[in-house]
Structure 1
Amino acid sequence: MNSKGIDHSGLTFRRDYFGDLKAWQALVDLLKDTFDIDIGPLQQMGGPDSSSMPFGWFAADGRLGANLSAFAMPLVINGRTVNAASFQSGAVRPPWRGRGLYRDLTQKALAWCEEKGFETIVLYTDKPALYAPYGFHALPMHAYSGQAPVPVASGRPARTLDPSQPADLSLLQAALKRRVPVSETLAVVESTAMFLINTRLDPSVRLSFVEDSQAVIAWKMDGDRFILLDVVAQEVPTLAEIIGSLGLGPAVAEVLFRPDRLGWEGRAQTTGGSTRFMIRASDEITLDAPAMPSPMADF
């Protein structure tokens, strides 16, 4: 045990290891064993975000005992582009819990973010008390729901996108790189890797490409309720145009981000579940309007 109370006996610290396929697989295994989440397909979808910086304690047999990764994820918050980083893939295997390893990795990740000049750090967690001592606080998350607009007929109907097909994956990757934020209140500027892996983690997400607006629509249907998760485009079409291009006529629409660019107003409502979106910034941030990041940016 070292002088700071971190017991890393039998473990070796590594960072920036995503170029090592065995170490990457150790992270895949850690997240699969801990959360039953498989991020392995990300390697076939362009790989992890190029800005990613993983921090981990490895056992002699190659297992990853504890990990926390950081990556750049610029955001728009209240109309301003913010140089933000995100924490993800935080986990500790049971044999190494209670030894201060996660506290150590959090401090290392925070130091890296300070070194890189990030002004804000965000994360998702179901254990907000774990991050409060480091200056993180939860932002209330709101979706919008209301009567669906009358669909606007589209010249060409949308077609299904399948990221497992090389041509569709290339189209989607290109669209993600040139997209505009889906909202001016709270939205990612770019988060290609997270969008792509979320198409695999949630098989109920449908992806459609609208030729006329060159927009990728991430959506679901629940009975007569249309659920809009994200819009990837250089110019966001209206909700009426989106529904029309999909050939739908739902009674109710639910938008999982602030719909300020959709030409439609729903009623803000708090989202359920135990997961919290937390933020750490030098100045306190309060959203100008109820909002939430698109679930396709969830990490």
Structure 2
Amino acid sequence: MTSKSIDHSGLTFRRDYFGDLTAWQALVDLLKDTFDIDIGPLQQMGGPDPSSMPFGWFAADGQLAANLSAFAMPLMVNGRTVNAAAFQSGAVRPAWRGRGLYRDLTQKALAWCEEKGFEAIVLYTDKPALYEPYGFHALPMHAYSGPAPAPAASGRPARTLDPSRPADLSVLQAALKRRMPVSETLAVVESTAMFLINTRLDPSVRLSFIEDRQTVIAWKADGDRFMLLDVVAQQIAALAEIIGSLGLRPAMAEVLFCPDRLGWEGETRAPGGGTCFMFRASDEIALEAPAMLSPMADF
């Protein structure tokens, strides 16, 4: 893209500032004020992703005027591990908009990703036109729904996990570190921080632990409909076994990722919401089957 001048008068540029708790709080405040999202609890859940690289313009009073963060998010795409990065926490306070700050941060983040050798970059946005000039394109997302399988006999029933309890948080963190991708078509290889904070951002998510399988299930229920958000395990169990372990007998199932490892098939549907999943890579990416990233990987 053609470089344009920016107006950063009265501001100081900083990067890699998550080790500074005052600067971290400035980011928490920016996202709360802009999107009404509170990422503050992440500090009590292990902290931000250790690969994170934030880029920000700070005012003299310590307020964060504009931010864009990048972090490593390796993905499984069509059976291959892709060394990908993700952009998140992009925001500019109203008083500093229209000065080119976000364009500047985007260019800095892209340069960092190139320096680190990432082969792809992904992001979520409700403004896809903002990123298309940088080579991003929208990748259509699809969930699956259909009649639920009959519950299969299982061993010990699953128990509830509560990440606010230190022992349960340790169980969850250990499972996330050794997980396999939930799908071969599209899935995160490892994204612990995002999974943990999403348990706080969406209190309707239920977490259950199947101990004899060392499997964590992220799910919801709405009447006779079972919604599977994610499976965290070294070996993915069949959907019938998951439902059986939870002691459920739903009529319908909805899986919010490609169910290629669940022993179950459903009809595809485009999820609701106004955000696009965007992909930037040297080679055009086309998924081999309809898919979406688990909501527990939302960033």
Q: TM-score scaled by structure 1?
A: 0.99
* Corresponding residue SS for 1:212: helix
Structure 1 residue 273: Cα displacement: 1.2
Asked if 1:210 corresponds to 2:205, the answer is: no
Q: After TM superposition, list the pairs within 5 Å mapping 1:150-299 onto structure 2.
A: 150-299=150-299
Residue of structure 2 in register with 1:145 after alignment: 145
* Partner residue in 2 for 1:28: 28
In the other structure, the counterpart of 1:135 is: 135
Mapped to 2, the partners of 1:263 and 1:19 lie a distance apart of 44
Matches within 5 A, 1:58-97: 58-97=58-97
**Structure 2 letter corresponding to 1:111:** A
Runs of at least 4 residues of structure 1 off by over 3 A?
none
Deviation at 1:4, TM superposition (A): 3.6
For residues 99-118 of structure 1, what are the structure 2 equivalents within 5 Å?
99-118=99-118
Q: Which amino acid aligns with 2:132?
A: A
Letter in 2 for 1:56: G
Which amino acid in 1 is paired with 2:150? Answer: V
Once residues 132 and 271 of structure 1 are traced to their aligned partners in structure 2, the CA distance between those partners, rounded to angstroms, is 22
Taking the aligned partners of 1:135 and 1:37, their CA distance within structure 2 comes to: 28
Name 2:16's counterpart in structure 1: 16
**Cα deviation, residue 233, structure 1:** 0.1
1:134-180 CA distance string (max 9 Å, x none): 00011000000000000012210000000000000011001000000
Which residue number corresponds to residue 49 of structure 1? 49
**Distance (Å, rounded) in 1 between the aligned partners of 2:35 and 2:222:** 26
CA distance in 2 between counterparts of 1:200 and 1:170 reads 16
Per-residue displacement from partner, 1:75-104 (whole Å, max 9, x unpaired)? 000000000000000000000000000000
Letter in 1 for 2:230: D
Q: Distance in 2 between matches of 1:88 and 1:98?
A: 20
SS at structure 2 position matched to 1:12: strand
Letter aligned with residue 108 of structure 1: K
Q: Distance in 2 between matches of 1:296 and 1:124?
A: 13
Name the aligned partner's letter for residue 63 of structure 1.
Q
Query: d(CA) in 2 for partners of 1:187 and 1:154?
Result: 26
2-side partners of 1:37 and 1:128: how far apart? Answer: 21
Amino acid at match of 1:148: A
Structure 1 Cα separation of the partners of residues 204 and 91 of structure 2: 26
Residues 266-288 of structure 1: CA deviation (Å, up to 9, x unaligned) = 11111121011000000000000
| Partner-residue secondary structure (3-state), 1:56 | strand
**SS of the residue 2:174 aligns to:** helix
Q: Identify the residue that residue 121 of structure 1 maps to in structure 2.
A: 121
User: What is the deviation of 1:213?
Assistant: 1.1
Identity rate, percent = 87
SS at match of 1:133: helix
When the two structures are superposed, what TM-score results if normalisation uses the length of structure 2?
0.99
Q: Distance in 2 between matches of 1:48 and 1:66?
A: 18
- Deviation string 1:112-133 (CA, Å, 9 cap, x unpaired) is 0000000000000111111000
Q: What is the alpha-carbon distance in structure 1 between the residues aligned to residue 155 and residue 185 of structure 2?
A: 31
Q: Which residue of 1 aligns with 2:40?
A: 40
Unaligned runs of at least 5 residues, structure 2:
none
Please tell me the residue identity of whatever aligns with 1:110. Answer: L
Distance 2:66 2:153 in 1: 52
